[in-house]
Amino acid sequence: MRAFKYRIYPNVEQKVLIAKHFGCSRHVYNWALSEKDKHYKETGKSLTRRRLQDRLVASKKDDKEWLTEVNSQSLLASLANLDAAFFNFFQGRAGFPKFKSKYSGWQSFQCPQHVTVDFEKAVINLPKLKGIKAKLHRPFSGTVKTVTVKRSPSGKYFASVLVDDGAVDPAPSTIEPEATIGLDVGLTHFLIDSEGNKTENPRILKASLTRLAVEQKKLARKKKGSGSRAKQKRKVSIIHEQVANRRYDFIHQATANLADKSHATTFAVEDLNIKGMVKNHKLSRAIQDAGWGMFLTTLEYKCRWNGKNLIRIGRFEPSSKLCNDCKYKMESMPLSVREWLCPGCLSLNIRWDAAIV
């Protein structure tokens, strides 16, 4: 499965119907969450997706006939998304599912069936939404599985096409010490490898903070509910979008240089506790601006595509405290210590990481 994201340009009528899909999908998600919560409080048991689907079909015939104006598969996809949200909650990967708001930044709905992408006409055809103009800059071959239509806070529309291309990832390369590079992310430098190469931290958000503060101050002075406030809110959203796009571009270039162009076949990285690190209020904004989590996730799937290995070192592994020759372990090693002499074999150990702020 691979996803391809395209910018789409719906006309006025298509925008209205897309907005109905956003609202109906959101309503079904919130309604199903409320029904499951109420059923559990009354009976102590969970309400299955099948029973929710039966109730939804019955309500469309009785008191919610307006749901028939949109694609029924998109409504069923909302029930599947709620099921996945509860599964992630019980697995400990996410918090308890929350109700969706129409005032949140991103709006979306899914079309899991009857979708076609026409590269010759440069259009995407969805159920009840035919001939949406799109910038199909990246061709693909395979079976289209799901299309997710999104609207950004700045008002741009996108279509994320999930494709089953039938491709098989190459077998991972044999791990060899001479073809292995250690990677360490930081704030002074975004990335330092064990060969001494350094990648500067672009600090993308920091470069836009002054402009962002000016536009947010203007937004705070606008009257709530007014048209001028909506326009100013869109300006603030555009700044955030530009920051996210620059970070996205930087990370993809950095990971491509490693996974596609580097001579190394294996990369070793530390399993960072990023959620715990951002609780430090002095460094949280700088850590989130760096995008370490996105970098490691992107590097992982690009290594898989190129048949390379990504090894995650345990976050409690005392790699900096171990001597490179005799494996003597120091009891304490402050971050300020960059070189230390092993008391066992008297060899000089140099820490190559640069995670000093």
187 and 143 part of one domain: no
Nearby residues of 275 by Cβ (< 8 Å), 6 or more positions away:
none
For residue 128, the enclosing domain spans 2-164
119 and 155 part of one domain: yes
Domain final position from 164, 193, 227: 164
Domain final position from 298, 313, 328: 313
139 and 210 part of one domain: no
**Closest to 355 measured CA to CA, from 198, 188, 203:** 188
60 and 136 part of one domain: yes
213 and 269 part of one domain: yes
Residue 338 falls within a domain, yes or no? no
Say whether pLDDT at 271 is over 50: yes
User: What are the tens digits of pLDDT across the range 1-50?
Assistant: 899 999 999 999 999 999 999 999 999 999 999 999 999 999 999 999 99
Residue 32 falls within a domain, yes or no? yes
Question: In the prediction, which pLDDT does 356 show?
Answer: 33
What total of structural domains would you count in the chain? 2
Residue 296 falls within a domain, yes or no? yes
Instruction: State the pTM of this model.
Output: 0.84
Residue 37 falls within a domain, yes or no? yes
Question: In the prediction, which pLDDT does 8 show?
Answer: 97
Cα distance between the two ends of the chain: 39
204 and 153 part of one domain: no
Question: In the prediction, which pLDDT does 355 show?
Answer: 38
Question: In the prediction, which pLDDT does 11 show?
Answer: 96
| Local confidence band at 354 (pLDDT 50, 70, 90 cut-offs) | very low
Question: In the prediction, which pLDDT does 357 show?
Answer: 31
